[in-house]
């Protein structure tokens, strides 16, 4: 969603504003799919928390949303540490109060042949793509359960459901997140919390520049 589109969206009187008064945390929202989700939420009236590692890009997204009349704030999000995740959640609570919607979109995708993957990479992929969403949700879900409402959306990939050469590590980490989503739906759904996963098809973003052929093979 570009700047012109979000301005038109926020000035459109026919927009439902169904997220008015809701706080939504979107991780990996400094570009690409995450940014588009954050801007769409802002169009519907949400207070959007932009979570990401790049402060410059994050503040630019915030500026775009605010200049169009929306509400947004950037928080540095380190999803590789449970301590950092707990600190992030505490800071968000102190600023916005409770979080109504969590979108776990942040992820890394080191596409490579299996024999070329070094020892450190699997841990980094699992930590960012699986453990990060796990502990972030674990920190937010109790207050959602207590209120009897809330939404968690995990962004996975079509590559979690098909085998793609060179994407074994990425696809398997997202497949784990997909199953986690199903388990959480069973665990927290009865308490009124809505848990879903969205698996976008081939999507070219700034983060996948130079990997177009690999991304399109997941379509």
- Joined tokens for residue 161: 């459901």
SS3 state at 200? coil
Contacts of residue 154, Cβ cutoff 8 Å, sequence gap at least 6: 104, 133, 177, 178, 180, 181, 195, 196, 197, 198
CA distance linking residue 111 with residue 68, whole number of Å: 36
Residues, the chain: 219
For residues 158 and 199, the answer to whether their CB atoms sit within 8 Å is yes
| CA distances to 2, 9, 23, 187 from 13, in Å | 19, 9, 21, 39
Please work out, in degrees rounded to the nearest 5, the angle formed at the alpha carbon of residue 159 by the alpha carbons of 153 and 162.
125
Task: Please pick, among 41, 111, 170, 184, the residue that the annotation labels catalytic.
Answer: 170
Strand partners, 96: none
**Is-catalytic flag, 93?**
no
Q: Residue 214 half-sphere exposure, CB side, CA atoms within 13 Å?
A: 18
**Residue positions annotated with a catalytic role:** 170
């Amino acid at each position: 969603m570009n700047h012109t589109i979000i301005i038109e969206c926020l000035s459109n009187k026919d927009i439902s504003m169904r997220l008015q008064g809701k706080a939504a945390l979107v991780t990996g929202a400094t570009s690409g799919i995450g940014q588009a989700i954050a801007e769409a939420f802002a169009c519907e009236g949400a207070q959007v928390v932009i979570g990401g590692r790049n402060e410059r890009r994050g503040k630019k997204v915030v500026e775009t949303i605010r200049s169009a009349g929306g509400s947004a704030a950037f928080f540095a999000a380190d999803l590789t540490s449970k301590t950092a995740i707990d600190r992030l959640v505490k800071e968000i609570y102190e600023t916005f109060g409770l979080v109504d919607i969590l979108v776990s979109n942040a992820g890394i995708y080191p596409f490579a042949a299996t024999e070329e993957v070094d020892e450190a990479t699997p841990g980094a992929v699992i930590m960012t793509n699986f453990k990060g969403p796990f502990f972030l949700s674990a920190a937010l879900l109790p207050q959602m359960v207590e209120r009897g409402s809330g939404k968690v959306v995990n962004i996975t990939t079509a590559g979690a459901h098909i085998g793609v050469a060179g994407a074994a590590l990425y696809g398997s980490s997202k497949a784990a997140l997909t199953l986690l989503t199903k388990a959480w739906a069973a665990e927290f759904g009865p308490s009124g919390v809505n848990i879903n996963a969205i698996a976008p098809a081939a999507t070219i973003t700034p983060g996948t520049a130079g990997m177009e052929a690999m991304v399109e093979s997941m379509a």
